[in-house]
């Protein structure tokens, strides 16, 4: 017993002495020249695994073990430094090595590289640049931040789709979206949740690396024709566990309101239109004898109906339907918590986030709960394992009904003389309203989408030697979605059916495995070799089921189980797979000459039996001119590199998994089941293939105070996939074939400058510009494949023109003598007969120039960042113009431009005479096509970092208060709601640039607080 007590006492004394011997130190790390605080600086007690990283304000805390007297301090872009431990507070300064951006680590397919060694074009966007942006889709946060990356929302609805094009559109009907790879796992583009990356938490992102040219992207072969976006999430670092808490709250408003006629104007102009139509028919409606059966009587009868209980003659009601379409109390709130840290053997990152955003339209909202855990474990010096797992639940309140003619924005078509409710408090609906009232759909309907998504992977990595390692990965992307809809007996869908309900279920599973060797070695101090060789397999499977019913006994009973009549349903299952082998070799000689070769062989089940496999090679070279003796050491040239690349990539996405096969389906016949042929086989269906050439120049001057890159590229895509009609006697309507070619050529310019760098103040700028010209170069068998005049839109496919070009009648203005709308005939003369009008190229929905201009200012603890984003050279077609700017052809409320209509002979105006049911100038033509150039204040953030003394008193490692705004200002001549619109419900590669009562983008102002401890 005495021995045991003595042993315990010794252990306690030794433990106490060890604790006492430990040293607690803290301080701040800054740039030696500017005094700017440096974040993510690694500080490690020399000879141990004990370390930490600096927070956003450069501060750190570390408990150093006994016997350690030196700190190893490292940071990308700065010279490594060893610091003696000389006290409890140690402030550290680091010297920039002049190549901060060039030493930046860039993620490439199946590996990483230092930027200065790249021979391809890869744009990098740091996660910190988009952190805390109050938008629901990650893609929107990329707008204006990367040259050649065009991001455009289909509309301003929360949860709606977002178009992303890298270096232009590359297909007629297959996908033009890039491939997204999250932590090495390609994820499904077949997402019903608003986009493939809409379920990912912004604050989990470490970086986006965008592979734009073929040499960079070809390692992904058949899926890389439209570029690749590599998303890397945050990982833990050795050191004390770092907790981050972020809370944000804000308000959402529409970017624009439009001016519609008020009740007085509406009545006056409608009566004028009716009288004009009567006079054309030879009737004087002011004569009591001719008033019966006149257009004026018809119009005033409609006014009586639309006015409900009120009297339109004394302007008793003046309803602003646009205001009712918007949610005046739309708000955004977000909460984000993360923890990261670990030891040299075990590192982790864990996060939990919640986002709640109201849309600007009534009934539109989104709630997302997401979590992530990333774990890395060194089992031994040679063997590492780890996993990444992200789970999310997204609940989206979609716009009720949500079709082309039943959105809240359609309320603007209703007459302002109509009250919202009757005298009993019930909502007015048709026939009192001009059309079915979307406000009733909002009040008595629901459309909820509940989405569960899991994205994760596990990996193992074994190092045979310092030069050779093997890595294996297995990843999954699982989606489960249920759409639940109900519409009461008074709604658009429920009217006449005593209620309508529908349930849709979608499930998809994508799993992927990568297995590859990586060899990296330097020979004779001048030869650097880096190579990978491996294989990949991916399988995709999805199921969709739908059922709908009618006759609900009560508004409160909204599930399909309560439906008195199940009307029908459907179910579909589809799958596809890829098998791939790939290799890449990088060679660098004497730190000056760079060569990269890569190749990928892909086999895909989606193509015909005769063309199932494809090979996609690429090659690139680089010359670091600044390392040559005639430039090395020159003070004004910090870096200069020439590079060139060529590559072949493919497209195998977006046209169905069974497009090449002959398909049969079930069909009822006389009460029994039968078989019917549904699709004509095409065993020769093959890959869309893109040849791309890129020539680039990277430069840096004056110790890289000025740096940037210039790239010229040419991408030619062949074997475009499209559905073409086949003779009816075959029993089929269409066949999927390869039929044409398309080209994109462009120039990209990136410029970064450190304008002012002092101890307390720093100002840096960046600008990116991208010019692109798209052209269809071949359509087999026909010059004009499809002229798209469907009465509202004119998108067409024409050889020698950009995809989706507007092709149709050209508006010639108004005949000053009689107020007729005029059109140009093919010979250049004018006519008032729409059927005699010629067809011309009247607009282009593809922008010629996109760009971004950002500035960052910092003064002591204050930071200000400002980003402007612009789109130029494209047009938008207002498909709703034939209803809202339509010379009172019917009873839709009109935009205020109709006040400038033609009234008397000699009037010079662009607005034809008002004629009720007269069809005067309302058909699809260039009249409704407008320039859609715009410059937008995309993001502005003002932040204050609390002083270190305050942070210490609060026992924190960092504290930041910020105010941020999105889409606060838009400069444009477009007269619609918003120039950023992409055909909403009907958006395809061809159908783009259309605006039909599409919601404007969201303008947001938020405040937030970020705490670290």
CB 885 within 8 A of CB 894: yes
User: What is the pLDDT, as a whole number, of residue 8?
Assistant: 38
Peptide bond into 431 cis (omega under 30): yes
The residues, ordered by sequence, that sit 6+ positions from 857 with a Cβ below 8 Å of its Cβ are 761, 762, 763, 863, 864, 865
The residues, ordered by sequence, that sit 6+ positions from 686 with a Cβ below 8 Å of its Cβ are 607, 608, 610, 611, 614, 719, 738
pLDDT greater than 60 at residue 16: no
Give the residues across from 781 on adjacent strands. Answer: none
Torsion of the alpha carbons at 295, 299, 301 and 303, rounded to the nearest 10: -170
- Tallying the residues shown for the chain, one arrives at 1013
Give the residues across from 756 on adjacent strands. Answer: 763
User: What is the pLDDT, as a whole number, of residue 787?
Assistant: 64
CB 338 within 8 A of CB 169: no
Phi/psi class of residue 796: alpha, beta or left (left: φ > 0; alpha: ψ in -120 to 50)? beta
Write out pLDDT tens, residues 63-90. Answer: 888 878 888 888 866 777 888 888 888 9
Tokens of 613: 């496999």
User: What is the pLDDT, as a whole number, of residue 19?
Assistant: 39
Distance CA 850, CA 216 (A): 22
CB 933 within 8 A of CB 844: no
User: 819 in helix, strand or coil?
Assistant: coil
Distance CA 267, CA 255 (A): 29
Q: Which helix (H) or strand (E) holds 155?
A: none
Look up tokens 């058949």; give the residue. Answer: 222
User: What is the pLDDT, as a whole number, of residue 60?
Assistant: 86
Of 988, 831, 808, nearest to 882 by C-alpha is 808
How sure is the predictor about 15, in pLDDT bands with cuts at 50, 70 and 90? very low
User: What is the pLDDT, as a whole number, of residue 530?
Assistant: 94
Lowest mean pLDDT segment, chosen from 34-48, 541-555, 907-921: 34-48
| Percentage of the chain exceeding pLDDT 90 | 66
- Residue 729: DSSP 8-state: G
Write out pLDDT tens, residues 107-133. Answer: 888 988 888 899 999 999 998 888 888
- Report, as an integer, the average pLDDT of 430-441: 92
Write out pLDDT tens, residues 742-775. Answer: 999 999 999 999 999 888 899 999 999 999 999 9
CB 962 within 8 A of CB 142: no
| Half-sphere exposure at residue 191, Cβ-oriented, CA atoms within 13 angstroms | 29
∠ CA 403-405-406, nearest 5°, is: 70
- Residue 56: DSSP 8-state: T
Lowest mean pLDDT segment, chosen from 436-450, 632-646, 727-741: 727-741
Q: What is the DSSP string of 506-540?
A: EEEEEEEEEEEEEEEEEETTTEEEEEEEEEEEEEE
Residue 446, burial from CB neighbour count under 10 angstroms (0-12, 13-18, 19+): middle
User: What is the pLDDT, as a whole number, of residue 335?
Assistant: 95
Distance CA 180, CA 182 (A): 7
Write out pLDDT tens, residues 246-289. Answer: 999 999 999 999 999 999 999 999 999 999 999 999 999 999 99
Q: Which helix (H) or strand (E) holds 105?
A: strand 105-108
CB 451 within 8 A of CB 396: yes
- Report, as an integer, the average pLDDT of 486-495: 90
Q: Which helix (H) or strand (E) holds 433?
A: none
User: What is the pLDDT, as a whole number, of residue 580?
Assistant: 95
User: Beta strands of 726-810 (E only): which ranges?
Assistant: 734-757, 761-779, 784-786, 795-798, 805-808
Write out pLDDT tens, residues 328-352. Answer: 899 999 999 999 999 989 999 999 9
Write out pLDDT tens, residues 284-313. Answer: 999 999 999 999 999 999 999 999 999 999
Of 588, 585, 607, nearest to 596 by C-alpha is 585
Distance CA 860, CA 35 (A): 9
pLDDT greater than 90 at residue 675: no
User: What is the pLDDT, as a whole number, of residue 7?
Assistant: 39
Residue 764, burial from CB neighbour count under 10 angstroms (0-12, 13-18, 19+): middle
CB 649 within 8 A of CB 224: yes
Of 777, 901, 872, 882, nearest to 834 by C-alpha is 882
- Report, as an integer, the average pLDDT of 959-981: 95
Tell me the angle at which helices 295-306 and 263-280 cross, rounded to the nearest 10 degrees.
Answer: 160
Distance CA 593, CA 370 (A): 45
Tokens of 953: 């008193």
User: Beta strands of 288-345 (E only): which ranges?
Assistant: 331-342
User: 898 in helix, strand or coil?
Assistant: helix
Contacts 24+ apart (CB under 8 A), 754-759: 754/704, 754/705, 754/706, 757/33, 757/34, 757/36, 757/705, 758/34, 758/35, 759/33, 759/34, 759/35
CB 582 within 8 A of CB 536: yes
Look up tokens 């931040």; give the residue. Answer: 145
Give the domains, in start order, of the chain with CATH numbers. Answer: 2-94 (2.60.40.1120), 331-804+844-886+921-1012 (2.40.170.20)
Tokens of 1003: 């303008």
pTM above 0.85, yes or no: yes
Radius of gyration of the chain (CA): 32
Tokens of 874: 């494209």
User: What is the pLDDT, as a whole number, of residue 100?
Assistant: 57
Q: Which has more pLDDT, 781 or 642?
A: 642
Q: Which has more pLDDT, 98 or 753?
A: 753
CB 252 within 8 A of CB 359: yes
| Half-sphere exposure at residue 527, Cβ-oriented, CA atoms within 13 angstroms | 3
**How far is the CA of 15 from the CAs of 11, 19, 652, 749, in angstroms?**
6, 6, 64, 61
pLDDT greater than 90 at residue 780: no
**Mean pLDDT of the residues in the chain:** 90
How sure is the predictor about 646, in pLDDT bands with cuts at 50, 70 and 90? very high
- Phi/psi at 641 (nearest 5 deg)? -140, 135
Query: How many Å separate Cα 58 from the centre of its chain?
Result: 32
User: What is the pLDDT, as a whole number, of residue 192?
Assistant: 59
């Amino acid at each position: 017993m005495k021995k045991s007590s003595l042993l315990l006492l010794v252990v306690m004394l030794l433990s106490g002495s060890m604790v006492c011997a430990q040293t607690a130190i803290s301080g701040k790390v800054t740039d030696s020249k500017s005094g700017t605080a440096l974040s993510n600086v690694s500080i490690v007690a020399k000879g141990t695994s004990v370390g930490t990283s600096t927070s956003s304000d450069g501060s750190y805390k570390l408990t150093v073990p006994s016997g350690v007297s030196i700190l190893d301090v490292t940071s990308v872009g700065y010279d490594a430094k060893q610091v003696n431990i000389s006290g409890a507070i140690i402030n550290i300064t680091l010297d920039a090595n002049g190549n901060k951006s060039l030493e930046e680590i860039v993620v490439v397919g199946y590996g990483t590289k230092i930027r200065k060694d790249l021979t391809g074009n890869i744009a990098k966007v740091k996660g910190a640049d988009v952190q805390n942006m109050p938008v629901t889709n990650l893609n929107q946060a990329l707008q204006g931040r990367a040259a050649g990356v065009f991001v455009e929302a289909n509309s301003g609805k929360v949860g709606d789709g977002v178009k992303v094009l890298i270096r232009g559109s590359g297909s007629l009907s297959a996908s033009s979206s890039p491939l997204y790879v999250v932590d090495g796992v390609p994820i499904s583009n077949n997402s019903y949740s608003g986009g493939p990356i809409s379920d990912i938490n912004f604050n989990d992102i470490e970086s986006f690396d965008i592979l734009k040219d073929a040499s960079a992207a070809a390692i992904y072969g058949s899926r890389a024709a439209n570029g690749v976006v590599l998303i890397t999430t945050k990982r833990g670092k050795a050191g004390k566990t770092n907790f981050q808490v972020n809370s944000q709250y804000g308000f959402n408003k529409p970017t624009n309101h439009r001016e519609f006629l008020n009740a007085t104007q509406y009545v006056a102009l409608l009566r004028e239109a009716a009288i004009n139509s009567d006079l054309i028919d030879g009737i004087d409606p002011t004569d009591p004898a001719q008033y019966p059966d006149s257009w004026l009587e018809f119009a005033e009868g409609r006014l009586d109906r639309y006015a409900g209980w009120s009297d339109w003659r004394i302007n008793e009601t003046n309803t602003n339907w646009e205001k009712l379409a918007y949610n005046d109390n739309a708000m955004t709130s977000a909460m984000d918590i993360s923890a990261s840290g670990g030891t040299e053997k075990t590192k982790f990152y864990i996060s939990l986030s919640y986002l709640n955003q109201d849309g600007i339209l009534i009934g539109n909202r989104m709630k997302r709960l997401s979590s992530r855990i990333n774990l890395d474990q060194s089992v031994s010096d040679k063997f590492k394992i780890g996993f990444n797992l992200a789970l999310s639940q997204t609940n989206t309140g979609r716009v009720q009904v949500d079709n082309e003619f039943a959105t809240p924005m359609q309320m603007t078509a209703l007459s302002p003389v109509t009250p919202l409710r009757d005298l009993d408090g019930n909502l007015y609906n048709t026939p009192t309203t001009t059309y079915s009232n979307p406000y009733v759909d909002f009040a008595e309907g629901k459309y909820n989408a509940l989405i569960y998504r899991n994205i994760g992977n596990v990996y193992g990595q074994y190092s045979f030697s310092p030069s050779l390692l093997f890595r294996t990965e297995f990843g999954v992307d699982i989606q489960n979605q249920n759409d639940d809809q109900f519409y009461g007996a008074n709604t658009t869908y429920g009217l006449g059916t005593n209620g309508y309900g529908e349930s849709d279920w979608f499930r998809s599973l994508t799993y992927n495995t990568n297995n590859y060797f990586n060899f990296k070695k330097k020979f004779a101090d001048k030869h650097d070799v880096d190579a990978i060789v491996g294989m990949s397999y991916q399988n995709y499977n999805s199921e969709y089921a739908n059922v709908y019913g009618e006759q609900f006994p009560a508004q409160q009973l909204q599930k399909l189980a309560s439906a008195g009549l199940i009307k029908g349903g459907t179910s579909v299952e589809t799958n596809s797979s890829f098998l791939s082998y790939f290799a890449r070799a990088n060679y660098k000689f004497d730190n000056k000459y760079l060569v990269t070769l890569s190749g990928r062989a892909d086999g895909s089940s989606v193509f015909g039996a005769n063309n199932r496999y494809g090979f996609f090679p690429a090659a690139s070279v680089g010359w670091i001119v600044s390392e040559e003796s005639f430039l090395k050491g020159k003070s004004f040239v910090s870096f200069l590199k020439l590079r060139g690349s060529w590559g072949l990539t493919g497209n195998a996405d977006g046209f169905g998994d069974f497009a090449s096969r002959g398909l049969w389906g079930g069909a009822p016949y006389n009460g029994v089941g039968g078989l019917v042929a549904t699709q004509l086989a095409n065993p020769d269906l093959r890959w869309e293939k893109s040849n791309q050439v890129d020539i680039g120049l990277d430069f840096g001057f004056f110790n890289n105070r000025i740096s940037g890159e210039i790239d010229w590229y040419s991408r030619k895509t062949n074997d475009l996939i499209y559905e073409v009609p086949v003779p009816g006697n075959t029993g089929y309507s269409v066949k999927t074939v390869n039929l044409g070619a398309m080209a994109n050529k462009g120039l990209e310019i990136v410029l970064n400058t450190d304008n002012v760098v002092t101890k307390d103040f720093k100002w840096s700028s960046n600008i990116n510009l991208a010019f692109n010209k798209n052209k269809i170069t071949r359509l087999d068998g026909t010059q004009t494949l499809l002229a798209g005049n469907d009465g509202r839109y004119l998108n067409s496919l024409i050889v020698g023109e950009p995809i989706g070009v507007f092709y149709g009648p050209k508006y010639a203005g108004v005949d000053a003598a009689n107020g007729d709308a005029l059109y140009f005939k093919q010979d250049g003369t004018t006519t008032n007969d729409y059927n005699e009008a010629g067809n011309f190229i009247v607009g282009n929905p593809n922008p010629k120039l996109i760009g971004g201009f950002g500035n960052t200012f910092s003064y002591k603890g204050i930071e200000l960042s400002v980003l402007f984003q612009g789109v130029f050279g494209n047009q938008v077609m207002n498909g709703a113009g034939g209803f809202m700017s339509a010379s009172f052809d019917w009873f839709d409320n009109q935009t205020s431009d109709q006040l400038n209509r033609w009234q008397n002979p000699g009037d010079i105006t662009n607005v034809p005479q008002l004629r009720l049911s007269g069809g005067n100038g309302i058909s699809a033509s260039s009249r409704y096509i407008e320039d859609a150039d715009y410059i937008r204040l995309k993001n502005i953030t003002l932040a204050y970092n609390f002083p270190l003394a305050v942070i210490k008193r609060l026992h924190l490692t960092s504290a930041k208060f910020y105010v941020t705004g999105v889409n606060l200002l838009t400069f444009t001549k477009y007269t619609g709601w918003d120039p950023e619109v992409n055909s909403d419900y009907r958006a395809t590669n061809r159908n783009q640039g259309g605006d039909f009562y599409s919601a404007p983008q969201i303008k947001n102002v938020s405040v937030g607080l970020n705490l670290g401890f």
